[in-house]
Amino acid sequence: MPKSKESEDTSCSTEASSTELTSCNQENSSNKTSTAIEDFVQEEDSNNFGAFGFSEVLLKTLANKGYKEPTPIQKAAIPELMLGRDLVGQAQTGTGKTAAFALPIIEKLNKPGGPPQVLVLTPTRELAIQVAESFRSYAIDQPNLKILSVYGGADFRAQINSLKRGVAIVVGTPGRVMDHLRQGTINKTELNCLVLDEADEMLRMGFIDDVEWVLEQLPNERQMILFSATMPSEIRRISKQYLNEPAEITIKATKQKTNLIRQRHIIVQNSYKIDALKRVLEAISEEGVIIFTRTKAITITVAERLEASGYNVAVLNGDVPQNQRERTIERLRKGIIDILVATDVAARGLDVDRIGLVINFDMPFDKEAYIHRIGRTGRAGRSGEAILFANPRERSFISNLERAVGQPIEKMNIPDNETINKNRLLKLQKNLIKAATNGREHEEETLVLKTLIENIENELKIDQNDIALAAISLALGPSPLMIQEDEGWIKQANQRTYRNDRRDDRSRNRRRSSFDNVSTESNMERFRVEVGYRDKVKPGNLVGAIANETGLKGRMIGRIQIFESHSFIDLPKEMPKDIFNNLKRVKVMNRELQINRSV
């Protein structure tokens, strides 16, 4: 249902330290709703889950899980959902959005059994499983509350039997939910809440027509919750058509969160990508790695080449059966495998804390795919690393990705022999220290081994250092510890990258010089501001911000030149000091101008 003009003109804004948060509430909501939200914001313990009015059972569950402070999206969304309002939320993965809708849904359920009361739609099977598991973890102290995930590739009859026995919450993919609705195996008479999770991904995967079909089958009187990382026009249309005067919440991750992931890129010819990949894996020690490729065929090729080199690797793509996919993810989570080679769709919703490195073996199709990929690391406040492989023709796309993530994607050389050898020695030293510190699990075996060492020492008349060297050599096997491979192709690749970088620098300097050589008018002075293309800034943004702060009319602002991370702008001379100081703190595209006179 479209919003009225009055409701569009009314908004409220809340600042949070770790994110920028805006919650827009409709003016025509009841006075009771507005009062309740005001009371919540003013509550002294509003940062605690106890302020939401949850039951003691749910609060106990959250305490046992170690939940203390709600995330910004939870602070904004939970009060609205507890009041029964429809909601549109824009938030990236990792912001706590699943708990934001799952907790109030669990709290408001009328009864644990019977026909389903809640339906959650997700774009992929993996995400459906993950969301259902989240619901179960929050309802762990409510054993009678049943949650079922339904998706293609799983036993249809088993799903029907579970639905017959009674399920409160169904989480599923659009196709399988449609199958159940057509056959009448999902009883929709008591459905009073629908959640669309990652709506933009459903649009990108071509499911949006299926989603609308599902919406049309459900009761008109229902609460509807829509979450999406981005808001394309089609998703905005659905929210206006199917949601009733929704609360609107936008959560944007700050640079602090993004900086948990160190992002780098390597320029390499396609013919050398596998060799470069092996060297990166040798040079960077991480316990869990995901390698993203564009196609299913490439996942198999990469996995086979890595397996032949002795790596413990598994594949995740659309051809892998569902039960095998689930086993693969569980093995990765438990550390049985360390490297996963996957396509974008197959890894959607994959959430494994131990992933420390993401490698983009192929350039992603778009910036949203890149953001999704690198978001598989740096989870739960941990640091992570992402490395992008690009061939020379793809170099120009890197700046677009930098603007999308709001930080540089640093240049990285292909690791040489020296780098790899240093890392091998560090890994060996780390493993030896760990073994020496922890010892063996069975004490009697330790005694036997000590006796064995003494016997060898007496028999060969050698000291324990020689025995230790022999033990290490035995553990390493016949392969050499230090590599001495040909590095000619690496030097050529690094030199080619260096020449291209210098060519780009000269081009940028020429553009800069052409601007610098244009003299400012006699009544104007040139200033530098610390925003640029990377921040998606446009001349109009700068003119508007400066005009609003100084009172200058647009025509009084001179030339503007925008570069990657900064811009130059001509302003009238003899600007008052207080206005100049105020301009330093003015924000454009959520970044301070930090204006200074150009030197």
DSSP state letters, 266-313: EE--GGGHHHHHHHHHHHS--S-EEEE-SSHHHHHHHHHHHHHTT--E
Mean pLDDT of the 531-552 span = 78
Grouping H, G, I as helix, E, B as strand and the rest as coil, residue 115 is: coil
197 shares its domain with 285: no
Cα separation, 391 vs 386, whole angstroms? 17
Amino acid letter for position 18: S
Sheet with 560-562: list strands edge to edge.
560-562, 567-572, 524-529, 596-597
Whether 298 maps to a domain, the answer reads yes
Whether 229 maps to a domain, the answer reads yes
465 shares its domain with 410: no
Range with the poorest average pLDDT among 264-268, 365-369, 461-465? 365-369
Instruction: For residue 24, give both structure tokens.
Output: 């827009």
Per-residue pLDDT for 445 more than 80?
yes
Mean pLDDT of the 98-104 span = 94
Whether 489 maps to a domain, the answer reads no
Whether 312 maps to a domain, the answer reads yes
Q: Which pLDDT score is estimated for 26? A: 39
The average confidence (pLDDT) of the chain is: 80
Whether 405 maps to a domain, the answer reads yes
Whether 531 maps to a domain, the answer reads yes
Cα separation, 365 vs 368, whole angstroms? 8
| CATH code, domain with 327 | 3.40.50.300
383 shares its domain with 447: no
Per-residue pLDDT for 253 more than 60?
no
Domain termination site, one of 369, 395, 416: 416
Whether 528 maps to a domain, the answer reads yes
Q: How confident is the model at residue 566 (pLDDT cuts 50, 70, 90)?
A: confident
Per-residue pLDDT for 516 more than 70?
no
Per-residue pLDDT reduced to its tens digit, 488-513: 788 777 666 655 655 555 554 554 45
Tell me, yes or no, if the pTM score tops 0.85. Answer: no
Range with the poorest average pLDDT among 8-17, 172-181, 449-458, 577-586? 8-17
Element (H, E) at 223: strand 223-228
Q: Which pLDDT score is estimated for 254? A: 47
| Dihedral over alpha carbons 404, 405, 411, 415 (to 10 degrees) | -120
Q: How confident is the model at residue 371 (pLDDT cuts 50, 70, 90)?
A: confident
393 shares its domain with 459: no
448 shares its domain with 376: no
Q: Which domain holds residue 542?
A: 518-597
Helix and strand counts by DSSP (H, E) for the chain:
23, 22
Range with the poorest average pLDDT among 45-49, 246-250, 360-364, 550-554? 45-49
Cα separation, 528 vs 516, whole angstroms? 12
Q: Which pLDDT score is estimated for 8? A: 36
Per-residue pLDDT for 155 more than 80?
yes
Q: Which pLDDT score is estimated for 392? A: 87
309 shares its domain with 385: yes
Per-residue pLDDT reduced to its tens digit, 110-140: 777 789 999 999 988 878 888 998 899 999 9
Whether 145 maps to a domain, the answer reads yes
Cα separation, 46 vs 67, whole angstroms? 14
Per-residue pLDDT reduced to its tens digit, 54-84: 999 999 999 888 888 898 899 999 999 999 9
Domain termination site, one of 205, 234, 253: 253
- How many structural domains is the chain composed of? 4
Mean pLDDT of the 449-469 span = 85
Per-residue pLDDT for 581 more than 80?
no
Cα separation, 447 vs 133, whole angstroms? 45
Which of 143 and 11 is assigned the larger pLDDT?
A: 143
Instruction: For residue 39, give both structure tokens.
Output: 């009371």
* Angle subtended by helix axes 417-438 and 273-283, to nearest 10: 40
Mean pLDDT of the 147-168 span = 92
Residues whose CB is less than 8 angstroms from the CB of residue 43 and which lie 6 or more positions away in sequence, other chains included:
51
Tally the residues of the chain.
599
| CATH code, domain with 588 | 3.30.70.330
Element (H, E) at 60: helix 56-64
Cα separation, 127 vs 349, whole angstroms? 4
Domain termination site, one of 416, 439, 455: 416
Grouping H, G, I as helix, E, B as strand and the rest as coil, residue 2 is: coil
Q: How confident is the model at residue 102 (pLDDT cuts 50, 70, 90)?
A: very high
243 shares its domain with 304: no
120 shares its domain with 246: yes
CB burial of residue 387 (10 Å; 0-12, 13-18, 19+): buried
Beta strands in 460-588 (DSSP E): 524-529, 560-562, 567-572, 587-588
- Asked whether 362 and 298 are in contact (CB, 8 A), the reply is yes
CB burial of residue 42 (10 Å; 0-12, 13-18, 19+): exposed
Neighbours of 265 (CB within 10 A): 24
439 shares its domain with 563: no
Q: Which pLDDT score is estimated for 2? A: 39
Q: How confident is the model at residue 1 (pLDDT cuts 50, 70, 90)?
A: very low
Q: Which pLDDT score is estimated for 252? A: 67
Per-residue pLDDT for 166 more than 60?
yes
130 shares its domain with 238: yes
450 shares its domain with 379: no
Mean pLDDT of the 307-320 span = 89
142 shares its domain with 287: no
Which of 1 and 68 is assigned the larger pLDDT?
A: 68
